[in-house]
Amino acid sequence: MPLSDKKWNFIFFALLLANLFFLTAFISYKIIIRGELVKIPDLEGLTFEEAQKLAKQKKFTLINNGSRLDDTWDKGKIVTQDPAPDSRIKLYAEVKVILSAGQEKVLVPRLIGKNVQNIGDLLQENQLRKGLVSYVHTPQYAAGRIIAQSPLPEEEVAVNSEISFLVSQGEREKAYLMPDLIGHRASRVVTWLQANDFRIGDIRYVYYEGLESGIIIKQFPPQGYKIQKRNLITLEVSK
């Protein structure tokens, strides 16, 4: 039995109302979604892949906005972000990040054989700094000369890196125990000391009652003191 016009009108209005209901619900959902805010986490120091995972969880859109040299973070880590951490943005809004391109690199110059006291300007010119300095006795290099360096020459390092050095103290000198010179004739002692390459410093002559002239009455360093041939020996002699 065919439907009457009245029934057709009823069905039409029912479908129209249903469509309006779903359309209103959809628009309301969009308004709610667009009005929802999310708090942006701190992305600094993360890789882009790590930040993308967070973006998916927090429902914002991550945008790679390029890279730049940076002394703080390794290559590929996020240096800055916009908006800043803890900012609130709309759902799926963009957060732009800049990635680290790594540190600026320089080549280490060859410093072996140079005097460690004279390398300050050279290090500064090459944007490097003096690091740990260790010393060792060796007859192969004069005192103060650089024997080894770390990092090695021509190695590529970050700007402002420290260069450590091993420096020569020259050949190790022999040590001697100072003998007892008091009471001995000064002329013989001085001749013997000079013949064996010991250094004579000041010789003072003073009157000493009851003692013939030319006898040692005081010495420095004292008996038993450890000395090397470069140390000065001073004497006080009777006159």
∠ Cα 71 73 79 (to 5°):
100
* pLDDT score of 67: 86
Mean pLDDT of 117-128: 94
Sheet holding 162-168, edge to edge: 129-136, 162-168, 146-150
Mean pLDDT of 101-115: 91
| DSSP 8-state secondary structure symbol assigned to residue 223 | T
Alpha-carbon span 69 to 99, nearest angstrom? 9
Alpha-carbon span 44 to 42, nearest angstrom? 6
Per-residue pLDDT for 18 more than 70? no
Alpha-carbon span 212 to 155, nearest angstrom? 71
* pLDDT score of 216: 95
| All structural domains of the chain | 35-103 (3.30.10.20), 105-168 (3.30.10.20), 176-238 (3.30.10.20)
Band (pLDDT 50/70/90 cuts) for residue 24 is low
pTM of the model: 0.46
CB 217 within 8 A of CB 182: yes
* pLDDT tens track for 32-81: 445 588 999 999 999 999 999 999 999 999 999 988 888 788 889 999 99
